[in-house]
Amino acid sequence: MPATATLPSLSFELIHHRLNNGLQVVLAPDRRAPVVGIGVVYDVGFRSEPQGRTGFAHLFEHLMFQGSANLEKLEHFRYVQASGGIFNGSTHLDYTNYYEALPAHALERGLFLEADRMRSPRITAENLQNQIDVVKEEIRVNVLNRPYGGFPWLMLPEVLYTTFPNAHNGYGGFEDLTNATVDDAAGFFDTYYAPSNAVLCVAGDLDAEPTLDMIEHHFGGLRKRRKPARPTFGEPAPTGELRREYHDPMAPTPALAIGYRVPDPNADLHVYLASVLLAEILSEGDASRLQRSLVQSQRLVNDAAAYLGTFGDPLEERDPTRLNISARYSDRAQTEQVIAAVDAELDRLATDGTEPGELDRVKVRLASIVFHELDQVVNRSLEFSKFQTVFGDASVILQLPALLAQVSDADIRAAAARLRPDSRAIVELVPGGAR
């Protein structure tokens, strides 16, 4: 099937605007369902948090829900939910997002709630202590009390990278979290939560003109601050194979994770997308290379995955970012064999390229995943604001099917050839749990 010829495209009207204080606005009207999504992305993630304050960007995200200039503690989420909506936020390597999905009749209320915490979150010693406790429970439930918890996103960077911004633990050490102060939070807010460092996207059942008026009304008066300069964060790729063991007392079986540097997504998106498709070829579904070879045919591993970035969204990080390959298997004695089997698959792709139909299949699959994602109004507001932040253009996500179509077999071979054994990090998870 000539897949690239049959890929449908998505059309969403995007309206761009910038307020005098620098806030970038993207509207994506769509009247089909009476719901709206409000997404705010701040151009700061845990890569930017200071030494001695690991985990601070995430802790600060929690503090953004603790009340604001005109709202007491608890009121933010009470207003959202009593309006029939949902909310959340999440902290990533290069950005932090906040969102509400609401019935359309709560649009202005939602805009007010976002504007009010962009004006000033209510950061008190009591709220800070409460959220330090909550974040510690989050880390306990997701990392310390869970087999394979945080593996490999918390362990791989400190082997693959050498500089603090790239290498440190983004959830944070308990000591650093405990040491966080109200002044730290005020300073972080002042620097990084400037309107000029944010993108607001409103998607769904709205009229553009009155919505822009509302945005001007609620956000226009927020104090203008300079957009903070973003350091390059660049550092050289490893010049060898760097290895470390990580002991997991709860895990019943061993696992390993391999991290490779990949090209800068912002420098050449076409070259980068070859790595994105390569990860799909390696591990998406039963027809993928690692599933067929390592899981089904050799029965060497129980699970295998290949993905880009910290959390598996391939298009949310700037340089430096990475491709991860992870596998879980039964016996530590097989570790070298598993690494060799991964290398053999990468060699095969670098040498022989893709099979007939294979590349088209993963392009169609990836485009379908994008369509599926954008069916949800709140995802649209988050994706458009993320693409505006990371790629400077919200519409890049709509161009993805066409951009993917241009990636050739030669591009995939080159992407596979870049994943060299002499420039990578490997973390071996040593299980301590009873089998």
Partner 1 sequence: MSPASSAAQAARRRSAGTAAPKLAVPALTAARRPRKVSTVEQTLDNGLRVIVVRRPSVPMFELRLAVPFFSTRSTHHARSMLLASTMLSGTDRHDRHGLATAAGQLGAEIGLSVDPDRLLLSTSALATGLRPMLDLVAEIVTGASYPAREVAGERDRLVDRTQVSRSSAGVLAGDAFARRLLPGHPYGQALPDEQQIAATTATQLRALHRSLVRPEGAVLVLVGDLSPARAVAAVQAALAGWTGAAEVSPAKPVPLVGHLPLLVVDRPGSVQTSLRFGGPALPRTDANYPALQLANLAFGGYFSSRWVENIRENKGYSYSPRSLIDHARLASTFELTADVATEVTAPAVLETLYELGRIATRPIDASELESVQQYAIGTLALATSTQAGLATQLSALAGAGLGTEWLAEHPARLLRVTTEEVAAAAHRFLAPQRLVGVAVGDAGQITDPLSSVIDLA
Q: Which stretch binds partner 1 (CB under 8 A): 151-159, 244-252, 332-340, 387-395?
A: 244-252
State the minimum distance, in angstroms, from the CB of residue 280 to partner 1.
Answer: 10
Closer Cβ to partner 1, 116 or 319, answer by number: 116
Give strand pairing partners of 102: 36
Pick the closest to residue 405 from 355, 350, 358, 364 (CA basis): 364
Closer Cβ to partner 1, 10 or 237, answer by number: 10
Residues 65-104 close enough to bind partner 1 by CB under 8 A: 69-71, 73-74, 77-79, 81-87, 101-104
- What counts of helices (H) and strands (E) characterise the chain? 17, 11
The CA-CA-CA angle for residues 286, 290, 293, to 5°, reads 90
Query: Residues near 236 by Cβ (< 8 Å), separated by ≥ 6?
Result: none
Closer Cβ to partner 1, 82 or 402, answer by number: 82
For position 251 contacting partner 1 by CB under 8 A, the verdict is: yes
Tokens of 231: 């350091």
Closer Cβ to partner 1, 225 or 243, answer by number: 225
For position 116 contacting partner 1 by CB under 8 A, the verdict is: yes
Tokens of 64: 């953004």
Residues 171-230 close enough to bind partner 1 by CB under 8 A: 182-191, 205
For position 412 contacting partner 1 by CB under 8 A, the verdict is: no
Helix (H, G, I), strand (E, B) or coil at 12: coil
Residues 132-151 close enough to bind partner 1 by CB under 8 A: 132-138, 140-141, 144-148
For position 249 contacting partner 1 by CB under 8 A, the verdict is: yes
Q: Which stretch binds partner 1 (CB under 8 A): 166-174, 294-302, 346-354, 415-423?
A: 294-302
First to last CA, the chain: 46
Query: Residues near 15 by Cβ (< 8 Å), separated by ≥ 6?
Result: 26, 27, 28, 29, 208, 212
**Residue from 21, 90, 124, 423 binding partner 1 (CB under 8 A):** 124
Q: Which stretch binds partner 1 (CB under 8 A): 38-46, 227-235, 283-291, 384-392?
A: 283-291
The tally of CA atoms less than 13 A away on the side-chain side of residue 397 is 27
Closer Cβ to partner 1, 101 or 338, answer by number: 101
For position 232 contacting partner 1 by CB under 8 A, the verdict is: no
Closer Cβ to partner 1, 110 or 259, answer by number: 110
**Under a CB-based contact definition with an 8 Å cutoff, are residues 270 and 169 in contact?**
no
Pairing of strands 424-431, 241-248: parallel
**Under a CB-based contact definition with an 8 Å cutoff, are residues 174 and 244 in contact?**
no
**Stretch (H or E) spanning 247:** strand 241-248
For position 20 contacting partner 1 by CB under 8 A, the verdict is: no
Closer Cβ to partner 1, 185 or 262, answer by number: 185
Closer Cβ to partner 1, 79 or 272, answer by number: 79
Residues 334-393 close enough to bind partner 1 by CB under 8 A: 357, 360-362, 364-365, 367-368, 371-372, 374-377
Instruction: Tell me the site size for partner 1, rule CB under 8 A.
Output: 105
Angle between helices 107-119 and 208-219 (to 10 degrees): 30
Query: Residues near 434 by Cβ (< 8 Å), separated by ≥ 6?
Result: 252
State the minimum distance, in angstroms, from the CB of residue 190 to partner 1.
Answer: 5
